[in-house]
Structure 1
Amino acid sequence: MDKTPAAAPAATSEADPAAACNHLFDEISVGDSATITRRLRAEDAQVLGALYGGTALGDPAPGLGHGGWGTALLHAVLDTRLPGPGSVCIEQSLRFLAPVAIGDTLAASVQVTARDAVNRRLRFDCRCINQHGALVMEGTIEVQAPAQRIVQAPRQLPETRVLDSDGQSLLERARRWAPIRVAVVHPCDATSLGAALDASREGLIEPVLVAPRSKLEGVAREAALDLTGIRIEDVPHSHAAAARAVELAAGGHVDALMKGSLHTDELMAAVVSASAGLRTSRRISHCYLMQTPAYPRPFIITDGAINIAPTLEEKADIVRNAIELAHIVGVAQPRVAILAAVETVNPRMQATLDAAALCKMADRGQITGAVLDGPLAFDNAISAAAAKIKGIVSDVAGRADILLVPDLESGNMLAKQLEYLGGAASAAVVLGARVPIVLTSRADPRESRIASCALAVLIAHHYRDCPP
């Protein structure tokens, strides 16, 4: 626009989160527009539920679905982009043409169609279009443009990722507890060392770095990380680091272990050693706590990292560990889906036989604290619609809180597909030992490492009252 002062941004914006300056009435012309694009996550729906007095979770009912979210996005465009901060909504008329489901992506757009110079009012045509190109909302909103220039710091919409069953972030819940002492085993690269220091700054852990001091100091120097005030247990190599960390845990000197840059097998070999003193009556197993935009609640995948091809007896312990974790994060009666490729028992498919046996064990009180069903194919476990089509009547189908996979390979691939293709956030922990073990991958983002430490905080404090 030729008449836009140099100090003001252009009045057409495509979701620029750095746009920090509003637009005054005289800087806006008919035809100016702005758009933001957002994906509806389960936690967004939980916020809507709190605002509207319902749950706002799950598949949308016939009718409006999560239409309130589209309305909120349109107002976000007006309040943050065009005209921007200081705008006042005068009236609106919106039509809801199609439901919006968790996982949908909406492009919310506004365009100026009329100007009232006497009252500084602008009329906008408004549209929300989903990821399939379908128009889900349209209408008009009239606003009064701001009278004064307002400049705000650049900001992003807040992201609340891994949640507990009540919709709180793990970090938020863990901060209610005192930090736990964590032996960080051989954090001799910038990623793992930085993660331990980040978790310390977040108030989650008091790290004890178990590694060669000279190597640690070299990594810290190169990555500009500050080790001031951090306790270091100087050991000669990674094998000694694993042994010393386990010794600290067995002696009650630390509340949890956290994997650094050594290989998982090296750490776990020290943990499971008969002489280490960390074993319990349970099989040691791994749990991913995951949150994905396409599913309305957090869920656990187990075991995708420790037990390669578990037997029926081992699967029973893997389920028990996952049920305990679900209880810790607030799911009083978790629903456990025992996964297989099919939902019927087939004598030639061991996973289906194990599933049937585990369900009968639950019926006989050998597995408690949860509702089990299986075999269930993945689609039946997480989609009520898929279960209904196949005629499955189940308290678990479509609402699973725990997914028990047949083996490590399927569990690992499922979790990583959800993370890399499904936008899932995750926390990872090993259970079955006397202390929780934070077991993240070198490729995991900072958020996942922090969430895993937060999960370990909850588990460690639970263990103080209910030792494993």
Structure 2
Amino acid sequence: MTRTQLHNIPFDDLQVGMEATQTRVLHPDDLYVFANSSGNLNPMHLPKEDGDGDGAPEALAPPMWIASLVSALLGCELPGPGTVYRSQSLRFVSQAQAGDTLTVRVKLLEKAEGRRVRFATTVETQDGRPVLEGEAEVIAPARALSFDLSDLPGLILKDHEHFDRLLEAAAPLPPMRTAVVAPEEADALAGPILAARHTLIEPILVGEPTRIAAAAAAAGLDISGFEIVPAQDAKAAAAQAVALIHEGRAQALMKGHLHTDTFLGAILARDVGLRTGRRLSHVFVMDVPGLDHLLMVTDAAINIAPDLMEKADIVQNAIDLAHSLGLAEPRVGILSAIETVNPAIPSTLDAAILSKMADRGQITGGLVDGPLAMDNAVNLAAARTKGIQSLVAGRAEILVAPNMEAGNMLAKELTYLAHAQSAGIVLGARCPVILTSRADDDKSRLASCAVAVLHAARSGT
């Protein structure tokens, strides 16, 4: 933990032989922060890059990052705040890698006129291997000083390691044959082709062949190796894709360049659609920087104003998906504006009933609690301030919105303000339904396919 209370030792109180030590674990995130702040983008120092072509990432600590640990010890502890550097000699005798625990030592060697102080400086790894040796000369502070830096701004990296893990989990699975409906624009075609390159899906392109070919040419994509099933328009393409599921020729659907209502209409068509006994619902699976787990938001795309029993299906769909993504007992927060039941706010009544339905086994596989306001659903301190005693409050992994408007705004706020990436999938049909947006980047498109592949593998659809 970063210290926020700093004290120094003024020049007159310093004595030759004084020492100070500090231990620091080199985290992969440290390497990204240094790369961004220094501009040193040498791949040898980036955790996921193979900088020398030997087939494995090096994740070496930049020498100047190691030297900065010496500066931190001198500036924060001995002599401490008020210290000014004059010079530093450095000998880098070995290298440190992400995961190493580094011990920094400084020892006072000499005091001189003008408050000049000379220190021996060393850094070594957890097994005693020296990494840095040298000497520093500083001007020590003249008087005792103390500082409270508790309001120092923090950093959140825009890393999406949770999606990386999803892609790693899906990689060993066989590609899922996926009917892509009306991929007749470059954006709609690029996603499934990208996923095919990553062996997540095996696309079947369902649509008007001339328009598909034009989209491929516009995007510079080679589609010669993919099956094309002709359909004259979007409605016919959606119906044909559903038929491929019934025939066993496809295992999943992906939306291309067509209106969502047309796409879902074919899935929901009576007798020939893909209905089950469960309400269809959409789930955003979100990788939010700074959050140590995936966050799921539902429903933000299909059910406009779901009633109580529809919400029960929405909750169960999300829990089932969470199981597929490795959460044995996901924590589900039913959102409202407040955390107490108030008949004037109908969503609080629904939330309370859904919680009781989970208690009675009508919703299974997860911990369900509500009503919860957003703050006490995701923040433990906020929940404790409100006196909420719950296994879910402050720890929610699934957020269930009271209606589509709230869910959609929440998901987009996380995307555009918190720099989250999102994957989209529709549940409740006979097969996974991949719903991507034209605004999605490559990682989001791949993650949507990975989520569908993992869910299909677990559920057997």
Assess same fold via TM > 0.5.
Answer: yes
Match of 1:321 in 2: 317
Match status 1:332 vs 2:328: yes
C-alpha distance in structure 2 between counterparts of 1:372 and 1:402, whole Å: 9
Match of 1:283 in 2: 279
Match of 2:364 in 1: 368
Match of 2:216 in 1: 220
Q: Deviations over 1:223-274 (max 9, x none)?
A: 2111111100011111110110011112221010000010111100110111
Secondary structure at the residue paired with 2:422? strand
C-alpha distance in structure 1 between counterparts of 2:86 and 2:218, whole Å: 53
- The structure whose Rg is larger is 2
Q: Deviations over 1:367-415 (max 9, x none)?
A: 1111111000000000001111111111101110110000001101100
CA contact (8 A) 2:159 2:289 kept: no
CA contact (8 A) 1:284 1:432 kept: yes
Aligned counterpart for 2:251 among listed residues 243, 255, 264: 255
C-alpha distance in structure 2 between counterparts of 1:64 and 1:371, whole Å: 39
Match of 1:359 in 2: 355
CA shift, 1:441, in A, is 1.3
Match status 1:405 vs 2:396: no
Secondary structure at the residue paired with 1:163? helix
CA shift, 1:90, in A, is 8.7
CA contact (8 A) 1:310 1:407 kept: yes
Aligned counterpart for 2:339 among listed residues 343, 349, 353: 343
Match status 1:395 vs 2:369: no
C-alpha distance in structure 2 between counterparts of 1:120 and 1:277, whole Å: 67
CA contact (8 A) 1:336 1:372 kept: yes
CA contact (8 A) 1:162 1:451 kept: no
CA shift, 1:95, in A, is 4.2
Secondary structure at the residue paired with 1:290? strand
In structure 2, relative to structure 1, the CA distance for the partners of 1:92 and 1:140 (3 Å cut) is: farther
CA shift, 1:294, in A, is 3.0
| TM-score normalised over the length of structure 1 | 0.70
C-alpha distance in structure 2 between counterparts of 1:73 and 1:448, whole Å: 21
Task: Write the letter of the residue equivalent to 1:114.
Answer: Q
CA contact (8 A) 1:78 1:87 kept: no
Match status 1:184 vs 2:180: yes
Match status 1:113 vs 2:56: no
Match status 1:173 vs 2:169: yes
C-alpha distance in structure 2 between counterparts of 1:202 and 1:429, whole Å: 19
In structure 2, relative to structure 1, the CA distance for the partners of 1:74 and 1:317 (3 Å cut) is: closer
Q: What is the 5 A alignment of 1:152-167? A: 161=160, 163=162
Q: What is the 5 A alignment of 1:137-148? A: none
CA shift, 1:69, in A, is 6.6
CA contact (8 A) 1:261 1:442 kept: no
C-alpha distance in structure 1 between counterparts of 2:444 and 2:74, whole Å: 37
C-alpha distance in structure 1 between counterparts of 2:358 and 2:431, whole Å: 26
CA shift, 1:96, in A, is 11
Q: Deviations over 1:184-225 (max 9, x none)?
A: 000111111011111100111110000100111111122211
Secondary structure at the residue paired with 2:162? coil
Match status 1:311 vs 2:311: no
CA shift, 1:171, in A, is 1.1
Match of 2:265 in 1: 269
CA shift, 1:295, in A, is 1.8
CA shift, 1:183, in A, is 0.2
C-alpha distance in structure 2 between counterparts of 1:112 and 1:71, whole Å: 26
C-alpha distance in structure 1 between counterparts of 2:209 and 2:182, whole Å: 10
C-alpha distance in structure 1 between counterparts of 2:62 and 2:343, whole Å: 67
CA shift, 1:92, in A, is 5.2
Match of 2:230 in 1: 234
Q: Deviations over 1:333-387 (max 9, x none)?
A: 1111000000010001110000011111111111111111100000000000111
In structure 2, relative to structure 1, the CA distance for the partners of 1:368 and 1:96 (3 Å cut) is: farther
Secondary structure at the residue paired with 2:390? coil
In structure 2, relative to structure 1, the CA distance for the partners of 1:74 and 1:444 (3 Å cut) is: closer
Task: Write the letter of the residue equivalent to 1:193.
Answer: L
CA shift, 1:327, in A, is 0.5
CA contact (8 A) 2:160 2:289 kept: no
The gaps in structure 2 that reach 5 residues or longer are 1-21, 46-59, 77-84, 94-119, 124-130, 134-156
In structure 2, relative to structure 1, the CA distance for the partners of 1:144 and 1:193 (3 Å cut) is: same
Q: Deviations over 1:421-443 (max 9, x none)?
A: 10101111000001000011121
| TM-score normalised over the length of structure 2 | 0.71
Give the superposed CA RMSD. 3.4
Q: Deviations over 1:70-120 (max 9, x none)?
A: 865688669967x9889766995444999xxxxxxxxxxxx993346xx68
C-alpha distance in structure 1 between counterparts of 2:218 and 2:202, whole Å: 23
CA contact (8 A) 2:122 2:132 kept: no
CA contact (8 A) 2:285 2:295 kept: yes
CA contact (8 A) 1:303 1:408 kept: yes
CA shift, 1:279, in A, is 0.8
CA contact (8 A) 1:160 1:169 kept: no
Aligned counterpart for 1:379 among listed residues 353, 375, 378: 375
Number of residues paired by the alignment? 357
Secondary structure at the residue paired with 2:267? helix
C-alpha distance in structure 1 between counterparts of 2:371 and 2:25, whole Å: 33
Q: Give the share of equivalent positions with the same residue, in percent.
A: 46
In structure 2, relative to structure 1, the CA distance for the partners of 1:74 and 1:261 (3 Å cut) is: closer
CA contact (8 A) 1:162 1:290 kept: no
Aligned counterpart for 1:443 among listed residues 421, 439, 443: 439
Secondary structure at the residue paired with 1:374? strand
C-alpha distance in structure 1 between counterparts of 2:375 and 2:289, whole Å: 16
Secondary structure at the residue paired with 1:169? helix
C-alpha distance in structure 2 between counterparts of 1:196 and 1:378, whole Å: 35
C-alpha distance in structure 2 between counterparts of 1:374 and 1:65, whole Å: 41
C-alpha distance in structure 1 between counterparts of 2:205 and 2:196, whole Å: 12
